[in-house]
Amino acid sequence: MYDCCVVNLRTDEKILTPDEVVQAAQIACLIEVSASKPGNVSRLYDFRDMRLEDFLLSAAAIGPAIRQAGQVSVGETILRAIQDTKRLVQANTNLGIVLLLAPLARAAMGPGSGTLRERLSVVLSELTVNDARLAYRAIRLASPGGLGRVERGDVWAEPDVTLRQAMALAADRDAVAREYVTDYAITFEQTVPVLYDCLHTCPSVTDATVQTALTLLTRVPDTLIVRKLGWDAAVEVSRQAGEVLRQGGVLTERGRASLARFDSSLRDATNKLNPGTTADLVTTALFVLLLEYGLSVLLS
């Protein structure tokens, strides 16, 4: 399903205004959490330590940082966004989202020329050691689940590499880090095409978001689950997501019943089977499509 979908993203060099980029970022966050994606916080389900309201507040909190992303470094945007979020929300609701959206926001507002992905490539190539230092502070402040210790590039130590080099050290175990070293290959080559197609074939924007999350989870095992429970657990969740899609996902009654069972199987008091990285990547795809097409992409 969706293998042949091709999205003709904007090829002009239009630089977006801060207001346009902030709106796109906040709407992407709001749509993502409003969709009842399996195993995630949504309108229907809260976690023990975080609620839907926390994600709504987090979407509002990142606005000032995103607005300044064209004038300050990526590291500064990341740190301010997490600091502003933590003033409103205690749990880690958006670290992965902020890490992914910050370079895109800078690319969308300039400086530079070319397509969004071409400008993003330049932004990523110009990341510095200070960007790593500031991002490490943000990661420690957010305190994400499953964060362990590593020999090189440990966020508890002072970095001696650029942020992109630090992400390269974690790319084999973290999909967010992998995006930094592949110019967002998962986003541009997998998630955006699926989401674009789903927005035209699913009954609603939230249904399209759920179907996209299922498809991405089938293709890319969730690395938050990997960090918490290991590779085999993540692969099994991906297999189950594939079974839901084979039943039709959100598009059929049988698929929705299968989706409900899958969702239930991912939920317990610990939330260790929460596909959080998948949710972050779907948010990023929503952000990209909103940057490229504006709100019209949601209304087609």
Helices 74-86 and 52-61, axial angle in degrees (round to 10):
140
Rounded Cα gap, residues 278 and 237, in angstroms: 12
pLDDT in tens, 158-170: 999 999 999 999 9
* Each residue's pLDDT tens digit, 261-293: 999 999 988 889 999 999 999 999 999 999 999
SS3 297: helix
In this prediction, residue 68 has a pLDDT band, given cuts at 50, 70 and 90, of very high
Whether 41 shows a pLDDT value over 60: the answer reads: yes
pLDDT for position 176: 97
Q: What is the band of 8 on the pLDDT scale with cuts at 50, 70, 90?
A: low
Residues 37 and 32: their CA atoms lie apart, in Å, by: 8
The reported pTM is 0.93
Categorize the per-residue pLDDT at 300 as very low, low, confident or very high, splitting at 50, 70 and 90: low
Give the contacts of 195 (CB within 8 A, at least 6 positions apart): 208, 209, 212, 282, 285, 286, 289
Q: Which of 14-18, 48-52, 57-61, 150-154 has the highest mean pLDDT?
A: 57-61
CATH number of the 18-299 domain:
1.10.4200.10
Q: What is the pLDDT of residue 263?
A: 96
- pLDDT tens-place string over residues 123-143: 999 999 999 999 999 999 998
pLDDT at residue 147, as a whole number? 55
Cα angle 24, 67, 42 (rounded to 5 degrees) comes to 45
Of the listed ranges 60-74, 136-150, 219-233, 285-299, the least confidently predicted one is: 136-150
- Checking if the pLDDT of 6 tops 60, the result is no
Asked whether the predicted pLDDT for residue 145 surpasses 70, the reply is: no
pLDDT for the residue 9: 58
pLDDT of residue 48: 86
The answer to whether the CB of 98 falls within 8 A of the CB of 81 is yes
